[in-house]
Amino acid sequence: MNNRVLIVEDEERLAAILADYLRQASFKAHCLNDGLKVVQWVREEQPALILLDLMLPGKDGMQICKEIRAFSDVPIIMITARVEEIDRLLGLELGADDYICKPFSPREVVARTKAVLRRSQGQQTVQTEGLTLNEATYRAVLDGHDLDLTAVEFKLLHYLAANPGRLFSRPQLMERIYPDQRIVSDRTIDSHIKKLRKKIAGAAAGQELIHSVYGVGYKFESCHY
């Protein structure tokens, strides 16, 4: 799972403390102190979340936020030194997901980071292994190819991909896909999985993402052969 957090902060000591706390919470933290480098880095590295200071050398946080929103839904937490600034920022509708005021406790930042990630991963998009799943549009793209999935196939793949490496039994998957308890047989899941795999193979030859574990069920894991 993508657990990279980008810290954009020109006060280097502060950035280092935040990075420490995030690493202790099992995130990978990367720090940038120059506003001009941020957008390009985000394009290339696709972090899971960005902590973005407002006042930066080169380019300010507001402008950076706008530019990132033009191509990415990555969660952004804006950090500002002035509490009165937050109202103004909210009014501008920059598309940030949360706001934190300095001085902050690093613990609080970690907690807000986790909360924003939970919220965003609960809906929106899953991005992993060249695969992007947009829950709002039910669109699945693998290595640039639209997989053209049915709603059921999308739900299945989304659920598996959101929990990489975790093994699900057929009844667990059925419950997830048909929450209204419609009667479906195990074979229904098998047949959806079969079609999904075919579409995945069609989009990216040599890439297997859904694995069956004999007698148990299915899991999502990247594997090239």
Choose between 32 and 196: whose C-beta lies nearer to Ca ion.
Answer: 32
Contact 85, 54 (CB under 8 A): yes
For residue 99, the Cα-to-chain-centroid distance in whole angstroms is: 19
- Scanning 47-55, 68-76, 85-93, 147-155 for contacts with Ca ion by CB under 5 A, the matching segment is 47-55
Choose between 98 and 221: whose C-beta lies nearer to Ca ion.
Answer: 98
Choose between 53 and 97: whose C-beta lies nearer to Ca ion.
Answer: 53
The letter for the amino acid at 55 is M
Pairing of strands 131-134, 125-128: antiparallel
List the strands of the sheet with 98-101, edge to edge: 28-32, 4-8, 49-53, 76-80, 98-101
φ, ψ dihedrals at 104, nearest 5°: -120, 165
As a whole number of angstroms, the distance between CA 87 and CA 106 comes to 22
As a whole number of angstroms, the distance between CA 152 and CA 88 comes to 42
Our finding on whether 10 is near Ca ion (CB under 5 A) is: yes
Q: Least distance from C-beta 80 to Ca ion, angstroms? A: 9
Our finding on whether 55 is near Ca ion (CB under 5 A) is: yes
Our finding on whether 85 is near Ca ion (CB under 5 A) is: no
Using CB positions, name the residue nearest to Ca ion.
Answer: 55
Our finding on whether 97 is near Ca ion (CB under 5 A) is: no
Q: Least distance from C-beta 61 to Ca ion, angstroms? A: 8
Q: Least distance from C-beta 10 to Ca ion, angstroms? A: 5
Q: Least distance from C-beta 100 to Ca ion, angstroms? A: 13
- Whose tokens are 């049915």? That residue is 150
Our finding on whether 60 is near Ca ion (CB under 5 A) is: no
Contact residues for Ca ion, defined by CB under 5 A:
10, 53, 55
